[in-house]
Structure 1
Amino acid sequence: MKFSASFVLLAVSAVFATANPLQAVLLHNEPHRVASSQDALLERITELSALNADPVELYKLVDPEGAAGLDEPRLLHIWGEEKAEWLTEGDKLRLHRQGLKFTDITETRELGNKNKLKVQAITEFPKISYGTRVRDVISHLSVHNLRDNLEKLTSFFNRFYKSENGAASSHWLYLQVLDIIAKADPSIPLSIRKFTHTFPQSSVIARFEPKHPSPNRTAAVIIGAHQDSANYLHPLLPAPGADDDGSGTVTILEAFRALVERKFTPEYPVEFHWYAGEEGGLLGSRPIAAEYEALGRDVRAMLQFDMTAYTKANHTPTVAFITTDVSTPLTEYGILLAEEYADYPVQRKRCIFEVRRSVLICLRNFFFLGAKLFPRAGSDHMSWHDAGYIAAFATEGDPYTEFDPYVHTANDTMYLPNGEFSFDHALEFSKVAVAFAVELGGWV
């Protein structure tokens, strides 16, 4: 949905140092007026919250015209539940308020049906053999680039997938990727695609084509992150989304830039995906995975990066791999890559638990290669997993003991106390992304 005319006076867009018109999405780009509009919005929502705490009713009070689509029926699979159920677009806001995540399968109910006919049990992966080239690319990764890109990305008031700000932030990201490609050596076969959806925000796909295409090497290696953000108190509130998942977004953007700079020419297609609408129920990645399945396109492996920069105070920073709704062999291979190329230890602890609706009960801990979540509690890798492709999920730490408490709030920023937001941490995941691209994509 687009914000109604009545809401435009309250809505705010990001304002950066330059005069790029994309940086002022709605009315103006004067910083003092933006700050004033932000204050007005927050004051308005605070006032109306006292009248009605329900996020749907609050939305109707703040922006009646813009809230018209909240009654739209949606088929949602709440994470932790066995079956999907018909709810509404507005119910997503209520689920977020309750801390319950979900997958929206309304338009992708057939995902995975076609691939059921194919053998997906890939258990062997290539021997790690590109050490010199991987380390050369890694040496050109930059913490400064991570910081600069995230500072700009989090300048948007929020990146809510149904808003003009969500559309503008995705276009800004598209332009960053396009600029990297424009500066590439002409001998590198590269392409970029803006994958549009039924909502304003677009997904972005960049692709390294094989230098010597072969019918035996058409399966794509995919590296992904989600670009949208959400304030679970209310979607019209600020959501800088620095960690979730601005960190993953810039992590793979920096890996992509370094690979382009070092003239990466793979044997297999290698793709970088920045998904829209993850917070709306995997609304960006599911249609993309469905398209690949419908077209009969093969995927060699997919790795998602969701939250890569938070380091809990007094905890050892790690590279973690989630073990739920993933390919176990691919996860183990990802761990091998992290152990080979990253400087941080790999997370090996997980929790065995029970889940009753939203209540998680940890029964016992033991050491294992990865960190476990309750079923369906993950990220965009699940779209590829559901489509019958092998996928894995890398993140910043154990979700039960090291989870970032600031996500989905206005406080999910780069400026956390005690140095808990770490670009050095995020850079370790850029190293893993580079290794995943090169070791699985090959290098001619």
Structure 2
Amino acid sequence: MRFPTCIVALLCASAASAGLVSEHSSQSVFEPNAQRLVQTAEGITQWISEADKLQLKRSGTRFMDITEFAEEEPITIDVNVTFPSNISFYDVASPLLANISIENMKTNLANFTSFYTRYYKSTTGADSSTWLFNTVKAIAAVDKSIRVFPFHHPWPQTSLIARIPGINSGTPEDRVVVVGAHQDSINLIFPSFFGAPGADDDGSGTVTILETFRTLVSSGFKPNNTVEFHWYSAEEGGLLGSQAIFSEYAKRRINVGAMLQQDMTGFVKKTIDSGKPESLGVITDFVHPELTEFIKKVVSAYASIPYVETECGYACSDHASAAKVGYPSAFVIESTFKDSNPFIHSTRDTIDRLSFEHMLEHAKLTLGFVYELAFANLAGEEE
């Protein structure tokens, strides 16, 4: 669907009269007629407008925006990885679980959702990524070996990477372990004018992995394999930020051994209201099967609630960008997909609808995932 100029003007006028235009919204850049190349399934692409992309999201159609890679030869990398058959480090890692702070997650999420929108093309989206960078940098300051740096894009909001170097760093044995979440938010009515607090999508995942990072760093964590925490920009635009990062990693032949995405970790009301047990939703489609089986073991060992298998479709979050270039990737969400948060992409995706106790379970999973793989021998036989 295209938005004619008159419709855009009407939306602007309606938003202003309703008091919904933020002081920053005039600095948000949404170009409804800009043409983008999107992929809605493997090998199925089409050129559509930015407005059409919004319509795809409204309809529930998932896609990658591959415009920046249209002229490039696809690059993939084969990483030989052997995942552990058993949980091996629970006795060492489990004391850290008590240090995960719900209060920290509440405070960080309150700050993160205070930005009117985190739309990746907006000035407030850029401001929110600066806030996140400064917060991560402050946590990492206790260990000079940890590098925290922005990954810049053509749009204002940057992605963010925090790298904890492993003992194996720089050797053929190193298998980089990545935990990811996306930091941007979007309002699907009109991104440049309507607020998008994005508390669950994906403020919850952002602060969940942030708190896991803090817990590990404050413990003096020194892994064997390099560990990276990623906060991606522009997931809502078609996985743009994570595609840029993993494409660059593939070009540089970086051996990412495992990637776990945390996108929406706090909404449980639909699950509880339907009489189902609270659980962690392990995505089983378009993921790496062996890594996913290992994650189930991590949930069983580290979390206080069980997992439930569920599916989310093609390109449903940033793990798809890792898989696109050949990296083993997986995704855990707050519930079954059909019981996930119905208020996302709107002004109603707010903190009061979330369970921080449930986010704590995601943080436990994330800590266990990192700890087990950080000390495992993941390097397979070289071909």
TM range (shorter): 0.7 to 0.9
Offset at residue 129 of structure 1 (A): 1.4
Distance 2:307 2:361 in 1: 11
Instruction: Work out which of the residue numbers 317, 320, 334 in structure 2 matches 1:382.
Output: 320
Instruction: Please say if residues 168 and 226 of structure 2, whose CA atoms lie closer than 8 Å, have aligned partners that are also in contact.
Output: no
**Greater mean alpha carbon deviation, residues 206-215 or residues 384-393:** 206-215
C-alpha distance after superposition, 1:362-396 (max 9, x if no partner)? xxxxxxxx21223x142000000001110000111
Residue 340 of structure 2 aligns with which residue? Answer: 403
Distance 2:267 2:69 in 1: 33
1:162 matched to 2:99? The reply is no
Residue 227 of structure 2 aligns with which residue? Answer: 270
Residue 143 of structure 1 aligns with which residue? Answer: 102
What is the percentage of aligned positions where both structures have the same residue?
39
Residue 6 of structure 2 aligns with which residue? Answer: none
Q: In 2 relative to 1, CA 103–214 (structure 1 residues): closer, same or farther, beyond 3 Å?
A: closer
Instruction: Work out which of the residue numbers 271, 277, 282 in structure 2 matches 1:321.
Output: 282
Instruction: Please say if residues 39 and 45 of structure 2, whose CA atoms lie closer than 8 Å, have aligned partners that are also in contact.
Output: yes
Offset at residue 107 of structure 1 (A): 1.2
Distance 1:159 1:42 in 2: 22
Distance 1:333 1:65 in 2: 42
Residue 363 of structure 1 aligns with which residue? Answer: none
RMSD: 2.6
Q: In 2 relative to 1, CA 110–337 (structure 1 residues): closer, same or farther, beyond 3 Å?
A: farther
Offset at residue 443 of structure 1 (A): 8.5
Instruction: Please say if residues 219 and 268 of structure 1, whose CA atoms lie closer than 8 Å, have aligned partners that are also in contact.
Output: yes
Instruction: Please say if residues 153 and 246 of structure 1, whose CA atoms lie closer than 8 Å, have aligned partners that are also in contact.
Output: yes
**Greater mean alpha carbon deviation, residues 230-239 or residues 102-111:** 102-111
Offset at residue 130 of structure 1 (A): 1.1
Q: Which amino acid aligns with 1:408?
A: H
1:76 matched to 2:38? The reply is yes
C-alpha distance after superposition, 1:268-319 (max 9, x if no partner)? 1000000000000001100000000001111110000000000024342111
Instruction: Please say if residues 261 and 317 of structure 2, whose CA atoms lie closer than 8 Å, have aligned partners that are also in contact.
Output: yes
Instruction: Please say if residues 217 and 267 of structure 1, whose CA atoms lie closer than 8 Å, have aligned partners that are also in contact.
Output: no
Offset at residue 204 of structure 1 (A): 0.5
Scaled by the length of structure 1, the TM-score of the pair is 0.75
Distance 2:247 2:200 in 1: 27
Residue 373 of structure 2 aligns with which residue? Answer: 440
Instruction: Work out which of the residue numbers 52, 55, 80 in structure 2 matches 1:94.
Output: 55
Residue 197 of structure 2 aligns with which residue? Answer: 240
Scaled by the length of structure 2, the TM-score of the pair is 0.87
Residue 50 of structure 1 aligns with which residue? Answer: none
Unpaired segments ≥5 residues, structure 2: 1-11, 378-383
Residue 341 of structure 1 aligns with which residue? Answer: 302
Q: In 2 relative to 1, CA 76–294 (structure 1 residues): closer, same or farther, beyond 3 Å?
A: same
Corresponding pairs, count: 358
Q: Which amino acid aligns with 1:249?
A: T
Q: In 2 relative to 1, CA 435–64 (structure 1 residues): closer, same or farther, beyond 3 Å?
A: closer
Q: In 2 relative to 1, CA 319–206 (structure 1 residues): closer, same or farther, beyond 3 Å?
A: same
Q: Which amino acid aligns with 2:219?
A: R
When Rg is computed on C-alpha atoms for both structures, the one with the higher figure is 1
Q: Which amino acid aligns with 1:430?
A: A
Distance 1:285 1:42 in 2: 37
Offset at residue 234 of structure 1 (A): 1.5
Q: In 2 relative to 1, CA 112–392 (structure 1 residues): closer, same or farther, beyond 3 Å?
A: farther
Residue 16 of structure 2 aligns with which residue? Answer: 41
Distance 1:211 1:124 in 2: 19
Q: In 2 relative to 1, CA 292–437 (structure 1 residues): closer, same or farther, beyond 3 Å?
A: same
Offset at residue 110 of structure 1 (A): 7.7
Residue 365 of structure 1 aligns with which residue? Answer: none
Residue 134 of structure 2 aligns with which residue? Answer: 175
Residue 204 of structure 1 aligns with which residue? Answer: 160
Residue 358 of structure 2 aligns with which residue? Answer: 425
Instruction: Please say if residues 266 and 443 of structure 1, whose CA atoms lie closer than 8 Å, have aligned partners that are also in contact.
Output: no
Offset at residue 136 of structure 1 (A): 1.7
Residue 373 of structure 1 aligns with which residue? Answer: 312
C-alpha distance after superposition, 1:18-67 (max 9, x if no partner)? xxxxxxxxxxxxxxxxxxxxx97361679xxxxxxxxxxxxxxx979955
1:295 matched to 2:227? The reply is no
Instruction: Please say if residues 186 and 236 of structure 2, whose CA atoms lie closer than 8 Å, have aligned partners that are also in contact.
Output: yes
Q: In 2 relative to 1, CA 112–327 (structure 1 residues): closer, same or farther, beyond 3 Å?
A: farther
Offset at residue 207 of structure 1 (A): 0.7
More RCO (CA 8 Å, sep 6+):
2
Distance 1:45 1:341 in 2: 43
Q: Which amino acid aligns with 1:392?
A: A
Q: Which amino acid aligns with 2:65?
A: D
Instruction: Please say if residues 326 and 385 of structure 1, whose CA atoms lie closer than 8 Å, have aligned partners that are also in contact.
Output: yes
